[in-house]
Structure 1
């Protein structure tokens, strides 16, 4: 059944849920065997309702949840890996795959390039930059690797720097620069507990201790704990110290309400298949137009002119269906709006965190400063810092409560468990997590 705008709005009369009376988990449904994709139906957030108020309206969000095909077998609180497609995108993806299979190389050799350019224009409009400052990639990792590996302003003896919370694939790329460029690699530790002042102090200290730092990797929102860094201040700090920053915005774009100019960065990598809900295999990189010459051509690419940003990416023959579907994903995003998505995801995070933060032995690894978190937040049980410890916690939550989470490693102070709700997550879902954590902490009820 197609969910109409009127049906979506019907939920707005429902009272907002309170912590004392948790609603039932969102209706879950699996696609019937052999079913055709549902026809897409767009909808919008209602006029005159603030994002914070709408974030608490379970009636509205149950309607949103019905636009996703979610497994009924478990409560998925591990949506940081990638974001599943909402129904309009899923249906469009089926059509795009069929079209690509049907038209084959004729599509790729005739109209695809112009269609991809229109996608770039659409992405540029959402991010607040020029289309010729964006190049499409197969994901955030490819985007960031191309920027880091291609950064040309390094000399032997220079320093490249990253933090313990940065994404492992980008850490590997920075380490590789030691052989590739003859540089030294510095690693800083983001403080726990994190505050804005403590984070800024840690980066300032690291830059002072390594005055030859020329390239700094900054995760806007890291994938280990979900901590959101004050990127604009850190980019400015790096620039003052003589370093360029590459910003990893793979997790933040679509989850937080911002545009590229607000980051202050000249170089950044993004994912489309995480919080924008585009199909797997889609992302893009950003290079400010007057900084293009500071990134190498990708493998001496000659497919595009040197002054075209697309020459900084060479992916070979790729599945273009995810790119063709990107405008539909952006339509879905725009229908809700970044501010509404951000408010809902923060509300879900706050709901479970506020129920367990006071429990002895439960460590929440993001602060309560709204500027420093979104949906993703990790926890650690005091003293349980090994990989085995945290795999056991993940198994307990799944076996006892059907709540699916994931263990994360690489933190200086030990492993943790990451929790990531999504737009289809209900308040009841995160309440199940809180119940499981109370049990683990020895505080049932």
Structure 2
């Protein structure tokens, strides 16, 4: 494989000197050997083409995925597990480390090791993985740890967007002309768009909290009874919390990534992929009542997803590579028009118990975005418990303010749940 990064991957690559890493951590109780862990990672590496590739730039600075049979194994860094929150400290360390070693793959693992309890922290650059990818990799690693004899089926890489989608989509001449026209418009837009602001130079931080199993169950039941969705209800809660704490600094908008696999059957659920189209949502203040607002947000999201022409978007976006460096500069320098990027991974399809160990906790993925507006909240559900991570930079959003937003969101959620019991 020698493939130019597609547009979504290219943006998440940023450049060769800027790390943009995703981190996914799990706590397991039970014993296993380094040999078993190494076996698991080796089999994963043999399955996924992107784990057997590095990123190399050509003479013009264009990055490519390049396969190599001489890559090292996925590295494992072992350190002592002292406190339950050590995974957060190590996650923040991993945000800032580049994948720039010539013979190293685009993944690494940190093993926080104690006698009976271990944290396994999987790290990948965002340009090769999304949330679904992370769940796949974690599932495979845990299964292979438990059953080292298991084999994984590999799949072939694609070498171009046209090659990936050739069976299901063929761009028309009109679509190509439209893409070329809008690529010119994009160049002009970013040419005159100010990038005088600098990206945050403060410290990235991570907030983590959970909604216990009883409250998670109540929220899920109330959403179902109201005809809303958990995702929509949480969007309303978060936007109201930002408004309450930030006042006129709040934008009243949340952007939500959508799993591209919903539309593109060529990308299997266990294939590594990084591109995710975005839906922007807001709360209609003309509507009275929390659940009515949540139902409207649900309807808006469903309508936007239904209107997505993802095949066309994937192919047409390839005509915008001439503007990608300006797009990246824009993201590094603009406050944006949204309050937060919010990703709901739903219930994780990862077993709780294995023959040789038990999964005590899975922490929602974290990411240290270099953007000027890096506000990101991710939620996932495991063992019936909702797990939240909130990542940002204190030069853009002070950590104390983010903590106030978190607390306000929990307060508003508590109010709605209690109100329905009154």
Tell me if both proteins adopt one fold, taking TM over 0.5 as the criterion: no
Identify the structure with the greater strand proportion: 2
Normalised by the length of structure 1, the TM-score is 0.26
